[in-house]
Amino acid sequence: MPTSLFQYEMLPTTWFYLSSLMIVAVFFRFNRVFSVRNLDILTMIFLTPGLIYIAMGSAPQGYLWLALIGAFGFSRLVFDSLLRRRPMLEPNLNVAGLTFACVAASAFIVPNLWLNRGDFAESPRAWRLEQILTAADANDENAVKVEERPGFRPFLRAAEKTNRFFAPSAEAWIRAASSSATETTNAESTLYFFGTAIRVDGAPKRSDDGEKASRAIRAMRWAAGRGGENEFAPVGVSGDAEKAVPATEFVGASVAPTAPVAPSVSGSGVERAPATAPIPEPIPTPPMRDVYRLTPSDGAADVRDGVFEEANGASVRTPSFEQTALILSVGALQIGVVVLIVLIGRFHLGSTQTGLSAALLYLLLPYVNQFSACLDHIVPALTLLTAVLFYRRPVVSGFALGTAGALAFYPFFLLPLWFGFYWKRGAARFAIGTSAAVLTFAVVLLATTGAGENYGSALAAMLGRRSLFLASANGLWEYWPRFYRIPLISLFGVFCVGYALWPPRKDLATLISGSAALMLGVQIWMGYRGGLYMAWYLPLAALTVFRPNLYDRVATTTVVDI
Q: Is the pLDDT assigned to residue 205 strictly greater than 50?
A: no
Which range is least confidently modeled, 3-12, 282-291, 393-402? 282-291
Q: Is the pLDDT assigned to residue 422 strictly greater than 50?
A: yes
Mean pLDDT across the stretch 532-541? 98
275: buried, middle or exposed (CB in 10 Å: 19+, 13-18, 0-12)?
Answer: exposed
The residues that bridge with 270 in the sheet, in sequence order, are 265
- pLDDT-derived band at 131, boundaries 50, 70, 90: very high
Say which amino acid occupies 386: T
Q: Is the pLDDT assigned to residue 374 strictly greater than 70?
A: yes
Q: Which residue has the higher pLDDT, 265 or 430?
A: 430
Mean pLDDT across the stretch 124-140? 86
Report residue 162 CA to chain centroid gap.
Answer: 14
What pLDDT score does 139 carry? 81
**Stated length of the chain:** 562
Which range is least confidently modeled, 23-32, 34-43, 246-255, 394-403? 246-255
Contact (Cβ atoms closer than 8 angstroms) between residue 500 and residue 514: no
Query: Nearest to residue 477, comparing CAs of 486, 74, 193, 211?
Result: 486
What pLDDT score does 125 carry? 74
Q: What angle is formed at CA 31 by the lines to CA 77 and CA 34, rounded to 5 degrees?
A: 40
Residue 484 to residues 71, 481, 525, 533, Cα–Cα distance (Å): 15, 6, 9, 21
Calculate the average pLDDT of the chain. Answer: 79
Residue 419 to residues 320, 433, 455, Cα–Cα distance (Å): 46, 12, 29
Report the alpha-carbon distance of residue 483 to residue 222 in Å, rounded.
33
What pLDDT score does 5 carry? 56
- pLDDT-derived band at 233, boundaries 50, 70, 90: very low
Contact (Cβ atoms closer than 8 angstroms) between residue 119 and residue 59: no
The residues that bridge with 554 in the sheet, in sequence order, are 507
Mean pLDDT across the stretch 380-395? 98
- pLDDT-derived band at 263, boundaries 50, 70, 90: very low
Q: Where are the domains of the chain?
A: 12-128+322-558
Give the strands of the sheet with 302-304, arranged side by side.
302-304, 307-309, 315-316
Percent of the chain with pLDDT over 90: 54
> What is the rounded end-to-end Cα distance, in angstroms, of the chain?
50
Report residue 554 CA to chain centroid gap.
Answer: 35
Q: Is the pLDDT assigned to residue 165 strictly greater than 60?
A: yes
The residues that bridge with 196 in the sheet, in sequence order, are 193
Radius of gyration of the chain (CA): 27
pLDDT tens digit sequence for 144-153: 999 999 999 9
- pLDDT-derived band at 298, boundaries 50, 70, 90: very low
Q: What is the DSSP letter of 11?
A: -
Mean pLDDT across the stretch 158-174? 89
Q: Which residues, in sequence order, are CB contacts of 177 under 8 Å at separation 6+?
A: 210, 214, 215, 216, 218, 219, 222
Q: DSSP readout, 19-45?
A: HHHHHHHHH--TT-TTSHHHHHHHHHH
Contact (Cβ atoms closer than 8 angstroms) between residue 489 and residue 525: yes
pLDDT tens digit sequence for 461-515: 999 987 887 778 899 999 988 889 999 999 999 999 999 999 999 999 999 999 9
Q: What is the pTM of this model?
A: 0.80
Q: Is the pLDDT assigned to residue 278 strictly greater than 70?
A: no
pLDDT tens digit sequence for 311-366: 344 444 567 888 999 999 999 999 999 999 999 999 999 899 999 999 999 999 99
Residue 281 to residues 32, 247, 298, Cα–Cα distance (Å): 69, 20, 20
The residues that bridge with 507 in the sheet, in sequence order, are 554
What pLDDT score does 398 carry? 97
What pLDDT score does 8 carry? 58
Q: DSSP readout, 367-426?
A: HHHHSSS-HHHHHHHHHHHHHHHTTTSHHHHHHHHHHHHHHHSGGGGGHHHHHHHHTTTT
531: buried, middle or exposed (CB in 10 Å: 19+, 13-18, 0-12)?
Answer: buried
The residues that bridge with 265 in the sheet, in sequence order, are 270
What pLDDT score does 182 carry? 41
- pLDDT-derived band at 175, boundaries 50, 70, 90: confident
- pLDDT-derived band at 111, boundaries 50, 70, 90: confident
Which range is least confidently modeled, 23-27, 280-284, 351-355, 490-494? 280-284
Say which amino acid occupies 224: A
